[in-house]
Structure 1
Amino acid sequence: MNRRRLFSKTVAAAALTLLASGTARARGRVSKVVLIGIDGVLYSKIEQANARNLLRLSAEGLLSRSSIAPHTSISGPSWTTVLTGVWDRKHGITGNHFDDRPFAKYPTVFTQLQRARPDLKTHCIATWDMIAVMAGSGDGRADVVVTTAPVPDDPDESRTDAATAAAVVTAITKFAPDFLFTHLDQVDHAGHFGGGARSGKYLDAITRVDELVGRIVAAVAARAAAEPGESWTILVTTDHGHTPKGGHGGQSADETATFVIARGPDFPAGVTTTRFCLADITPTVLALLGAPADPAADGSSMIVRPSAEPIASR
């Protein structure tokens, strides 16, 4: 399927999305969503590194592995697609240097949530500073936008990512935002400067990030246990892959390989598919939090109704 194709926006589909988004509220519970973005990581290398926390999330929820081709396999375009639901041919971002002007026409998930449900609390805590341009854009920005200050003497970004994850744990524990997006960067750094995706340093970075993911998941579990009225969903994704020697931006299978993990009450465990991709993340967050879908979106919610086309179960 051409992932640039606009999904049809029928009344029936909209009604089904609203029905799915109301599942947690119908049970008298408040929906919360944490989206973890890991820059430049290949799922095949997550498997090779035996990254137990990421593999557990995959096993406990839905895993979709797909290609973003012919979309540009660079961070700026891809994280924009994650946070808007539209591909690069629409939002027009093709590199890593941009301003907030594209988000006036194609607002981020933060803006869409603010407009539809201004009562929601939204946080963005990231290692890469350009994420703040996205989250801080538009008429209705994220309530909290934080770029982690680079930690001194941190050549592989592991300490800076650890500080990002610590801030995320604090946010979940103390403030429990309704939607939180975090970005971790060290795997991409290892891909560029540590010898590429075939290197031991790339696998080491995945192992370290996996530990940080485990801390975030543990914070969510503790909060959910303490507040049974809250229903938490964890989403995990990446923006692009890496070549064996390191680098991305082209259209090879390694560079365009991405994945989405969705674990929560609306996602059955042990499901694998190739159906969902980066453009589906914002529509999924909107559906989970009871906000209407954006008609301009190229993606659609990953919440699958029972009568939908079957997807494989592991």
Structure 2
Amino acid sequence: MNRRQLLSTTLAACALLATSTGAARAHGRRNKVVLIGIDGVLYSRIEQARAPNLLRLSAEGLLSRSSVAPHISISGPSWATVLTGVWDRKHGITGNIFDAVPFARYPTLFTRLQRARPGLKTQCIATWEMIAVMAGSGDPRADVVVTTAPVPDDPDESKTDAATAAGVVTAITRFGPDFCFTHLDQVDHAGHFAGGARSGNYLAAIERVDELVGRIVAAVDARAAAEPAESWTILVTTDHGHTPKGGHGGLSTDETATFVIARGPDFPAGVTTDRFSLADLTPTVLDLLGAPPDPASDGRSMLAALSERPLAGR
């Protein structure tokens, strides 16, 4: 074989390899996750409000309703559990004022993802400023950490939450981060300052947040349709509930009530259970994004649990 024949054969082989590699990439799917945190919302009131987007997500995926008791039913401890996978007795956060120190011993989901898979792109876009303390802690930290600036003339936080959701929609549409966490606050605000969980204002806040969830879901679905190699999972949760007259922090049924919604190709549709709670979210995201589990975690990947003991439909 002369040099010209050898070169021709080599180029043909390279072209075949490139074609087969491209085909493999086209058939491979890259998991991506959006975790939506809605502060202080009771699922029973979501049902009463007939919130279409949250109820549709529940119907299209898995719904787990459970209690966080004896964990503290306060935002700081609960969101720390969502983002670390350990309960308050380990991370030690007991209120809403804290620093980054607890996350040195129990790193956040962002840090664990970045350490395991440095190429992953992670974002945190939140209304409550203390979420940034969590997402911005550790080394490495989340790639993008944004606290939405309070919108003027926004007594119920609806405008600020809308700005947060708009930021999430932009992030998904333009950048397609591998993991994005967002926090919306107005339902909790209504529980504290606008009549409590039984009030019409609380229901109205749920309706507004549901619309924002719908915008985020629409952005995910549009992105998934435009990028068939991406496989998107949407998770939704809350940190605590509220008493009928408003407030939380105790161990009553209303205060400790939480839920997890999981919609994606790895989760069965139309299933209701009580098996999964806040501490299971970090292990689940790690599993979905190909990062190793944390041996210190109090929770467990929902995917692993479902593979061992599948759940029947509603």
TM > 0.5:
yes
Mapped to 2, the partners of 1:231 and 1:26 lie a distance apart of: 12
Query: Aligned runs of 1:72-91 on 2, under 5 Å?
Result: 72-91=72-91
Give yes or no for the alignment of 1:174 onto 2:180: no
Mapped to 2, the partners of 1:270 and 1:53 lie a distance apart of: 15
On the 8 A contact 1:273/1:312 being kept in 2, the answer is no
Q: Structure 1 residues 303-312 or 208-217, which shifts more?
A: 303-312
On the 8 A contact 2:26/2:229 being kept in 1, the answer is no
Mapped to 2, the partners of 1:99 and 1:130 lie a distance apart of: 9
Mapped to 2, the partners of 1:192 and 1:306 lie a distance apart of: 37
**Paired residue for 2:94?**
94
Q: Shift of residue 308 of structure 1?
A: 2.7
Mapped to 1, the partners of 2:239 and 2:194 lie a distance apart of: 19
TM-score (norm: length of structure 2): 0.91
**Paired residue for 2:29?**
29
Mapped to 1, the partners of 2:26 and 2:112 lie a distance apart of: 23
| Equivalent residues, number | 290
**Paired residue for 2:188?**
188
Structure 1: tracts of 5 or more residues without a match: 1-24
Larger fraction in helix: 2
Q: Shift of residue 139 of structure 1?
A: 1.2
* Counterpart code for 2:257: A
Give yes or no for the alignment of 1:58 onto 2:58: yes
SS at match of 2:40: coil
Structure 2: tracts of 5 or more residues without a match: 1-24
**Paired residue for 1:147?**
147
Q: Shift of residue 312 of structure 1?
A: 3.7
Q: Shift of residue 304 of structure 1?
A: 4.7
**Paired residue for 1:214?**
214
**Paired residue for 1:162?**
162
* Counterpart code for 1:286: L
Deviations 1:273-303 (A, max 9, x none): 1000000000000000000000000000011
Query: RMSD of the alignment, in Å?
Result: 1.2
Mapped to 1, the partners of 2:278 and 2:205 lie a distance apart of: 22
Deviations 1:148-201 (A, max 9, x none): 000000000000000000000000000000000000000000000010000000
C-alpha change, 1:40 and 1:126, in structure 2 (3 Å) is same
Mapped to 1, the partners of 2:308 and 2:225 lie a distance apart of: 32
Q: Structure 1 residues 161-170 or 298-307, which shifts more?
A: 298-307
* Counterpart code for 1:230: E
Larger Rg: 2
**Paired residue for 1:275?**
275
C-alpha change, 1:290 and 1:27, in structure 2 (3 Å) is farther
Q: Shift of residue 246 of structure 1?
A: 0.1
